[in-house]
Amino acid sequence: MTNTITNIRREFIDDAAALVFDLGGEQNCEWLDKDDHNMLTDSDSHLITNFSHLELDGVFEQLNEWLEENPVKIEWSENNGFHGGFMDGGSYYTLTEAEAALEGVKAEFFAQCGTDEDRVTLESGEFRILW
C-alpha cells in the first residue's frame, strides 16, 4: 500500500533546506541537498531514521515527483485578475541563487519592453520566487 503525502512545501529548519509534508496525518520532513534544493539529500535521511521501509512505501517517489514538478524558479505574473499573463524567469538550484538572480531577471524583462504600455504592464505585475 502506497502512503499518500499531502501539503508538501519547502522550508528552512535550523538553517537546513527541507521538504515539509503531512504523512499519515502527521507533519514530517526530508532534507534537501544543500547545493540543490530541487533534490533530496543522498545522506542523513530523516524518514529512514524514523520510519520502517514498509511505512515509507511510495513516499520517496512522491517527494521526487513533487520536486520535479515544482523547481526553484522566478516568474512574473500579471495581476489583472483575469487572463494572468506569465513569463518564466528561469530555474535555479537554491533559494539563495534565485534571490541573487532576481534583480537581473527584472532588468532583462524591462529591457525587452518595446513600448511604454509594455513597461506599464510589467510594472503592474508581480515578480515571485517560487521555492
What residue numbers bound the domain in which 29 lies?
5-69
pLDDT in tens, 103-130: 999 999 999 999 999 999 899 999 999 9
How far apart (Å, rounded) are the C-alpha atoms in residues 31 and 36?
11
Quote the pTM value: 0.78
Q: How far is CA 115 from CA 45, 89, 96, 98, 110, in A?
A: 52, 20, 32, 28, 10
Same domain, 47 and 100: no
Domain count, the chain: 2
Same domain, 62 and 90: no
Residue 130 belongs to what H/E stretch? strand 126-130
Q: Which residue, of 69, 92, 112, is where some domain finishes?
A: 69
Same domain, 10 and 64: yes
Same domain, 50 and 24: yes
Q: Which residue, of 30, 49, 69, is where some domain finishes?
A: 69
pLDDT in tens, 72-106: 999 999 876 556 688 999 999 999 999 999 999 99
